Structures are given as C-alpha cells and as structure tokens.
Chain A
Amino acid sequence: MRPFLYERADQPEAAVIAARIQGQQQAPPTAAAAQFIAGGTTILDLMKLDVMQPQTLVNVGKLPGTIEMSDQGLRLGASVKMAEAAENEIVKRDFPVIAQALQLAASQQIRNMASLGGNVLQRTRCPYFRDVSYSACNKRNPGSGCSALDGHNRNLAILGTSDKCIASYPGDFAQALIALDAQVETLGPNGGRSLAFADLHKEPGDTPNIETQLQPGELISAFVVPTGAWTRRSLYLKIRDRESYEFALASAAIALDMDGQTVRGSRIALGGVATRPWRAREAEETINGQTLNDETARGAAEAAFRGAKVYSHNAFKVELGRRTLARALLDAGRMEI
C-alpha cells in the first residue's frame, strides 16, 4: 500500500474542507489525491491491491447519520451501516426491497463495517480491474484497453456495456434505490445539491474510469426514498453461485402497485447484469396495465433483455436474468401486505 495522510472528520463540512484542501479538482473522485474512507471495505481492499492510490484519506465513517421518516419519505444517512438499515423495523416493513438488498449482501462482519454511502460507490469485481499485473484495463488505466473482452468475463455485464469496458456494477442496495426513485443529497466544495439516484452513476462509454457524477471532495450525505403504494409490495431476489456471501450473477429489485391481479404501476431494477445500477423501463412499460401471470411476467423479462450484448462466457446471463426477473415479479404479486 502507498503511504497516505489520514484525517478523521467529525462534521460533514470538515470532511469536505479536508478533501478540498488536499485534493485536486481535475480527476474523478476515485483518482483524486484526497478520498473519503467510511467502512473501508472497498477502498482499503483496493489500496492494498494498488488499484486505488489516494494520498490523503479523510475518514467520514464516524459522521452522524440516522434513519428517519420525513415528509419526503424515508431518509437514510450516508454513514448509517448496512446492518443497521437492514435490521431497521420501518425499513423492513415499509421498504422490504431495501432491507433485503442489504441483508443479502456480503457478510454480517462487512455489513457492520460498511456505510450506505460507501456501498453505492463500491467498485466492480472485474478480475482484471482488481489485478494490476494486467496492464490493459480502461477503467483503471484509461486508454490501455480491456482485458475482459477476450478474457474471463463470466461475471461481467450484458447491459450498458461499451467496447471500452464491460465491467458489471456489483452492488445490491443501489438496485433498490434506483427502483424506488430515490434522491441523493450531497455536500461539496460548492455547497449542497440533490440529484436523482438514477443520475448518480454513468455507463462506461468511452470513459469507464468516470463512474459517477460526483465531483472530487463531494460527500454523499443521505438518500431519500419516496413512499408510495408500491413500496410495501417490494422485494429483492438475488441469484448467485453460492447461497450467501457472494455477489449477484443476476438479481431483481421489484416494487408493484396492484389493483387486484392487475399491475397499476411497476418499478423494476436489475443487478449483476449491467454496468451501472439498472432501471428496466422497457419491462415496466410491458407489464403496466396487464394482469400479472406467467405469460406477462415472461413478456416483461423478454423486454428487459432485448438490448443485451453477450461476450464469450456470459451469454447464460440473458436467460438467467429473464428468469430472475419473471420469478421476482410473480413473487411480488403474491406478497401479502
């Protein structure tokens, strides 16, 4: 690991100031001189591997953060730990998709350490990104090429890819946030702002090294999730190589507003298959207004993967993703609320 200066911030403003002083403004936050550390379960791992190289670490893990209901909906402080949110009674009852997405992620040790803010910014598990002995990785080393295109890409994405990068976004919680139209509140060198969670992450395009809209030194302070008729009838289905402590091969975050057997409105997001948190609008449009059954669920699933592009080892994800989505829709329809 490269040497770094360490500071702990007790207030969000102090964290932003510290990052601004030490940082440079040109680089994306993941390449900036000063970077935040919360739980450390992504950034320390990648610093040991020499993938991330901050010169200053500003510890934001002890900033105050709470879970509360407000007029705008559920407010989740960015420094709340995954375990705390997963086990919160309001979250479990009124936003089950959030509780489940968190609960099915990582292990209890990691959920005890990891913050919600750090969680949405976790980085891909693409093996070539994590291993600096491969020189070609556009995400790690812009312009160097992509080792995964002709390499081991079984776990990588089939939606939202580019010829520069096909890395999958590995997180679960983000799928619940994008499905439920969450907002992100941030505090940066230029003050605070609120943006749609759907706008936070970027597709790789020609610049896979730029993963989000965040500026260097911009701190995520909270997520706000609006309440609606659909939030209680929501769930997260995660399919993986082993039952626990594993990333998704395919997953679906679903929230349904039902009128009897008819889908009045749906919110669908897909994990494990895309380069960023992925809202499946085509699937929503296909199922909205329909009676929910095997056939219509399958129709929505077909629509969701119409634009899929497969690579040498990951073609299986198309059918796995469809089945995951169809099953999740039917399960959500059957939920007793």
Chain B
Amino acid sequence: MGFSMSQSEKPGGLNRRSFLTATAMGATLPVIQQARAQQAESAPADPRAPVDVKLRINGRDQSLRLDARTTLLDTLREHVGLTGSKKGCDQGQCGACTVLVDGTRVLSCLTLAVMAQGSEITTIEGLASSDGALHPMQQAFIDHDAFQCGYCTPGQIMSAVACVNEGHAGTNDDIREYMSGNLCRCAAYPNIVAAINQAKNEMRKA
C-alpha cells in the first residue's frame, strides 16, 4: 500500500503526527507503512466514537459498531444475543465466560471485542451440530448431572472441550488441575470430572 499526505491526515490512531515523528526517529519506510496499514483497525481519534468491529462467531460473520471498551463477553450477550456465555465475576476469576478463540479457551470478560477480530469464536451456542445433536460433552454433562443451578455450565463445557482437545484430560488429577479455572458455586466438581471422562472417549471416537 502506498501513502500520500492526504491519506496520512485521515483521522486515525496513527495520523500525520505519527508519520512525522516516525521520520524524525529515523524509522524505515516499511515500518511507517506497517504502522499506517494499521489505521483500518484503530479507533478514531475521538475515544467515545463507535468502532467498526467484524467478528466471526459460531461460523457466522457479524459486523458491529461498538464502543472500543466493549468486552467480547458483553458483545456476545448484549449485541449478538448469545446469552449462553455467563458473567460471573467480570474479573478473570471464575471462568463462567469461557469461549474458544481459534479453538483455544480464553476468558471473554478480559478480551476486548476489537482484539478478537480475525479469529474464529465458538460459544456454547455453536457446539451442537447443525441437526441439533448435542456435542458429546453437552450430553455427558446431562448424563452425569454435572450441574445444579447451571450458571457455570456453559463455561465448564467450553473449558472441558478444550481440556480434552489439549490432551489435558488423561487422569482425574489432570482434569482437576486443568479445569481449575472454572469455579462451580454448587460444587458439582465430582460430576464434572465424571462427565469429562465419559466425553473424552466419545470425542476420541468422533
């Protein structure tokens, strides 16, 4: 991408001042171009102005206009209508908001929606197959009564799917250690371990 003065004056994080300072610093041209290429993903100069955010959630593209402060969790729940992911603490301390980003489990309460652009996001709503058949982990949670109130359950299930895929569900001790980021106030822990043991075998078969 080439650049001209008028383009570099476009409102954006890295504007004309960036260009000048970068030159003064003796930065090389590719670096400046790199920096300028990022304008597309930066918020406008008014921090309160909404930002265009493109997300891919459960295989569907979503174009949203969001306040840059919006977490991925609030985006899912308040803007996309996917209320399966739960807000327990909003501080990274409970795991109720766990989703998969490019197959990796993360906390959506400590992820900004703008940071999740370009990734494949999977929530509890995206786990069952399109014909409605439950994922083996969902079925196993039902079979083993692995919940009481159910508030932590979407996070537990997303975390459990990743735990198996990571190869961290070998022993009960492994399961307990690698599921420690998901708290259950109802203490369904023994049932959760049993459910994961059932599902891990079926997931291997699948």
Residues of chain A having any CB pair with chain B under 8 Å: 1, 3-11, 13-14, 17-18, 20-22, 37, 39-41, 44-45, 48-49, 55-56, 59, 61, 106-110, 112-113, 189, 243-245
In the complex, per-residue mask of B100-117: 1 if CB is within 8 Å of any chain A CB, else 0: 000011110011101100
CB-nearest residue of chain A to B36: A14
**18 A-B interface contacts by CB (under 8 A):** A4-B68, A5-B47, A6-B51, A6-B68, A7-B14, A7-B41, A7-B43, A8-B42, A13-B27, A14-B34, A14-B38, A17-B18, A21-B14, A108-B166, A108-B168, A243-B177, A244-B176, A245-B180
Report the Cα distance A49→B90, complex, angstroms: 10
Task: Determine, out of B77-85, B91-99, B190-198, the stretch whose residues face the partner at the interface.
Answer: B91-99
Question: Interface of chain A, helix or strand or loop or mixed?
Answer: mixed
The smallest beta-carbon distance between B75 and chain A, in angstroms, is 14
Can you list the 5 inter-chain pairs with the closest CB atoms, starting with the nearest? Answer: A107-B181, A244-B180, A3-B47, A7-B13, A14-B35
Q: Interface size (B, Cβ < 8 Å)? A: 51
Report the Cα distance A108→B100, complex, angstroms: 12
Q: Are B13 and A107 in touch, CB under 8 angstroms?
A: no
CB-nearest residue of chain A to B98: A109
Report the Cα distance A236→B92, complex, angstroms: 24
Report the Cα distance A13→B14, complex, angstroms: 13
The smallest beta-carbon distance between B142 and chain A, in angstroms, is 24
CB-nearest residue of chain B to A107: B181
Check if B186 is an interface residue, CB within 8 A of chain A. no
Q: Are A6 and B106 in touch, CB under 8 angstroms?
A: no
Q: Are B14 and A18 in touch, CB under 8 angstroms?
A: yes
CB-nearest residue of chain A to B42: A7
The smallest beta-carbon distance between B157 and chain A, in angstroms, is 13
Q: Are B106 and A17 in touch, CB under 8 angstroms?
A: no
Report the Cα distance A3→B47, complex, angstroms: 5
Q: Are B106 and A112 in touch, CB under 8 angstroms?
A: yes
Q: Are B105 and A8 in touch, CB under 8 angstroms?
A: no
Q: Are A5 and B92 in touch, CB under 8 angstroms?
A: no
B17: which A residues are within 8 A, CB to CB?
A: 21
B98: which A residues are within 8 A, CB to CB?
A: 109
> Which B residues between 35 and 81 are near A, CB-CB below 8 angstroms?
35, 37-38, 41-45, 47-48, 51, 67-69, 71
The smallest beta-carbon distance between B103 and chain A, in angstroms, is 10
Q: Are A17 and B35 in touch, CB under 8 angstroms?
A: yes
CB-nearest residue of chain A to B108: A109
Contacts A17-B14, A40-B111, A44-B111 known; 5 new A-B pairs at CB < 8 A: A8-B115, A10-B37, A21-B17, A113-B111, A189-B25
Known contacts: A6-B51, A48-B91. The answer to whether A113 contacts B110 by CB under 8 A is yes
The smallest beta-carbon distance between B11 and chain A, in angstroms, is 10
In the complex, per-residue mask of B153-190: 1 if CB is within 8 Å of any chain A CB, else 0: 00000010011001010000000111011100000000
